């Protein structure tokens, strides 16, 4: 809307300014040529805008067929309103300038501006098409999600996992020892617990002299009136606490790496569905899951506690667990992919590598999934020879398996 308003204003003012100040760009048009040029630009851009709108609609349908949640992962799809705004502003400007063409006053500079807007529009279109060409495939979508997931993991879990520190940490479920003395509920419509401001939560707890415990985990769905936070000590200002929490309509990756894993699993499951039956695409999703699990295995996932400057625990929240990440990344793929030799071989390679590189304390969930995968393959594949082949680790699915030491 802003681009169109500016286009109308400039289209009305620029030809008058040209006439008044006798501006000249060095290229002269007669009346017929100027009218033909502006008319062609306007008509062509109107047609192109309709074409691109249809193409983008089909692209959105293609991505949503993989998973409705994937649309937010595609690069530059949030810039399509700018694309359509530029297209609309271009033909609007050309039409307005066309109305200003007179026999004795041809707006040469305005015609040149129309041509420049046309070139800008073509450049934006080519950029969008290049993005879609590289991204709007199953592998491209998996790589886009994997790239964002790696960034979130590196940001949220920068500290390497220390088995000694983990063993020395106090045991417990992460909940306050004393019974809560206050409770704050979610006010407003239902939504997803997307994120909370950790520093602001610590400051609020310290200034109030209380201990805050967030009840939902990041990514949980909250109904109206759901329990949001509880704690011991003086109750904090409810409005302040609600302001440092973001409740939205959809999950995001900001503080929720499990959501990135969920998206990759969605891609794999859709590829493994009988309607699609594309195990190679599932293997591409497993490539990204392999990298994410390797990173998480070597990182400290935290204990769900935030400390004040004096070392006191002042904020608690449900912390992610390593076994939950493994279950999320692997279990459904085992269930739906046990009958695909390509998928089971790639999944076995993922688990074998993870078992070799993960710290000893994090290996039991991985070993359990290898055993589960073996049982699922035997159940899905009756032929013992094929079942044995399906359990061979292979980083290509069916390609060149590594020699096992």
Residues 6+ apart with CB under 8 A from 347: 286, 330, 333, 334, 337, 373
pLDDT tens string for the chain (405 positions)? 999 999 999 999 999 898 888 887 777 888 899 999 999 999 999 998 888 888 778 777 777 666 666 656 555 455 678 888 999 999 999 999 999 888 888 888 999 999 999 999 999 888 888 777 766 677 778 888 899 999 999 999 999 998 876 655 554 444 446 788 899 999 989 999 999 999 999 999 999 999 999 999 999 999 999 999 999 989 999 999 999 999 998 888 888 999 999 999 999 998 998 888 889 999 999 999 999 999 999 999 988 999 999 989 999 999 889 999 999 999 999 999 999 999 999 999 999 999 999 999 999 999 999 999 999 999 999 899 999 999 999 999 888 655 454
Residue 192: C-alpha distances to residues 79, 155, 224, 263, 375 (Å):
25, 21, 11, 16, 36
- pTM value is 0.76
pLDDT score recorded for residue 176: 44
CA distance 59 to 211: 48
Length, in residues, of the chain? 405
Please check whether residue 286 is in contact with residue 268, taking contact to mean a CB–CB distance below 8 angstroms.
Answer: yes
pLDDT score recorded for residue 24: 77
Kindly tell me the burial class for residue 233, based on how many C-beta atoms sit within 10 Å of its own C-beta (0-12, 13-18, 19 or more). middle
Going by C-alpha positions, the residue among 292, 264, 300 that lies closest to residue 353 is: 292
Please check whether residue 80 is in contact with residue 56, taking contact to mean a CB–CB distance below 8 angstroms.
Answer: yes
Strands 221-222 and 191-196: antiparallel
pLDDT score recorded for residue 175: 46
Kindly tell me the burial class for residue 178, based on how many C-beta atoms sit within 10 Å of its own C-beta (0-12, 13-18, 19 or more). exposed
In order, the DSSP letters of 54-72 are HHHHHHHHHHHHH-GGGGG
pLDDT score recorded for residue 187: 92
Residue 2: C-alpha distances to residues 81, 84, 93, 278 (Å):
11, 12, 13, 44
Domain positions in the chain: 2-136, 149-164+255-310+320-390, 173-248
> 3-state class of 230 per DSSP?
strand
Tokens for 389? Answer: 């082949």
Look at domain 173-248 and name its CATH class.
alpha beta
Please check whether residue 314 is in contact with residue 212, taking contact to mean a CB–CB distance below 8 angstroms.
Answer: yes
Alpha carbon distance, N-terminus to C-terminus of the chain:
64
Strands 245-248 and 227-232: unpaired
């Amino acid at each position: 809307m802003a681009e169109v308003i500016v286009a109308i204003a400039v289209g009305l003012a620029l030809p008058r300014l040209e006439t008044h100040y006798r501006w000249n760009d060095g290229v002269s048009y007669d009346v017929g040529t100027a009218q033909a040029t502006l008319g062609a630009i306007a008509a062509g851009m109107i047609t192109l805008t309709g074409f691109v709108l249809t193409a983008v609609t089909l692209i959105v349908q293609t991505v949503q067929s993989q998973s409705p949640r994937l649309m937010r992962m595609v690069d530059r799809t949030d810039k399509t309103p700018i694309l359509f705004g530029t297209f609309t502003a271009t033909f609007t400007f050309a039409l307005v300038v066309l109305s200003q063409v007179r026999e004795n006053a041809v707006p040469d500079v305005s015609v040149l501006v129309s041509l420049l807007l046309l070139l800008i529009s073509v450049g934006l279109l080519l950029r969008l098409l290049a993005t879609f060409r590289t991204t709007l495939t199953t592998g491209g979508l998996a790589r886009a999600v994997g790239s964002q997931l790696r960034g979130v993991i590196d940001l949220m879990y920068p500290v390497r996992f220390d088995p000694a520190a983990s063993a020395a940490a106090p045991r417990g479920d992460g909940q306050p020892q004393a019974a809560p003395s206050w409770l704050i509920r979610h006010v407003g419509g239902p939504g997803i617990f997307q994120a909370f401001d950790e520093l602001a939560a610590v400051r609020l707890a310290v200034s109030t002299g209380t201990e805050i415990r967030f009840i939902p985990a990041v990514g949980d769905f909250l109904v109206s009136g759901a329990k949001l936070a509880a704690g011991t000590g003086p109750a904090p200002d409810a409005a302040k606490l609600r302001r440092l929490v973001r409740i939205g309509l959809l999950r995001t990756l900001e503080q929720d790496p499990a959501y990135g894993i969920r998206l990759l699993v969605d891609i794999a499951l859709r590829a493994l569905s009988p309607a699609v039956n594309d195990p190679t695409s599932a293997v591409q999703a497993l490539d990204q899951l392999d990298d994410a699990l390797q990173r998480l295995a070597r990182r400290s996932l935290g204990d769900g506690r935030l400390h004040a400057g004096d070392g006191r625990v002042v904020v608690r929240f449900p912390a992610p667990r390593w076994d939950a990440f493994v279950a999320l990344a692997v279990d459904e793929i085992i269930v739906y992919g046990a009958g695909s030799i390509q998928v089971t071989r790639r999944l076995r390679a993922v688990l074998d590598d993870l078992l070799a590189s993960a710290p000893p304390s994090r290996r039991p969930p991985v070993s359990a999934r290898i055993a589960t995968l073996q049982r699922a393959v035997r159940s899905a594949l009756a032929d013992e020879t094929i079942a044995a082949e399906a359990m061979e680790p292979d980083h290509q699915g069916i390609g060149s398996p590594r020699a096992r030491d």
